[in-house]
Amino acid sequence: MATGATDHKALMQQALDLTKQSPPKPTNFRVGALVVDYSSNEVLATGYTLELPGNTHAEQCCFMKLAEKHRVPEESLSEVLPSTLALYTTMEPCSFRLSGNLPCVQRVLRLASCIKKVYVGVQEPNKFVSDNTGEKSLADAGIEVIHVGGLEKEILEVATEGHEKA
């Protein structure tokens, strides 16, 4: 799938559209993600919360699909992927998982030689984990975190569908 010349808002909209496939639950946010090779503007993988078994997050699903496609363990993806990748995610990658699964920030950091930029639609609300340090961890590793504006209201509405309203 090729996209237009780095239309960041269109790519974030594509991630938001994926989010809508995630089942609404009161115990998680619905998130969508894309891994894009910015040298060719090709979407290499897509994912959304709970797409794959195991209480999976959107970014995790992208990486699991890429690992399967390349027939390598997820931990070895940096050996087979190009060094010109960007991650688009509707919500800032998590820095802590209540489920005990590896946080998405740690998954991105394993790919720091490949993923140079992370585009986010919104920061993670403090509902489940307060003080998400994802953005700081990525920036400290030299990964640029860029906010894509204009879709925040819709992202948060979709992300929190199934949650009790305050």
Q: pTM here?
A: 0.91
Q: Tell me, yes or no, if 74 is annotated catalytic.
A: no
Domains located in the chain, CATH noted: 8-159 (3.40.140.10)
* From 59, 92, 124, 135, the catalytic residue: 59
Confidence of residue 134 (pLDDT cuts 50, 70, 90): confident
In terms of Cα–Cα distance, which of 13, 100, 28 is closest to 58? 28
The sign of the torsion formed by the CA atoms of 160, 4, 86, 82 equals positive
Q: Tally DSSP H helices, then E strands, for the chain.
A: 5, 5
Tens digits of residue pLDDT in 46-81: 999 999 998 899 999 999 999 999 999 999 999 999
Please tell me the distance from the alpha carbon of residue 162 to that of residue 27, in angstroms, as a whole number.
Answer: 9
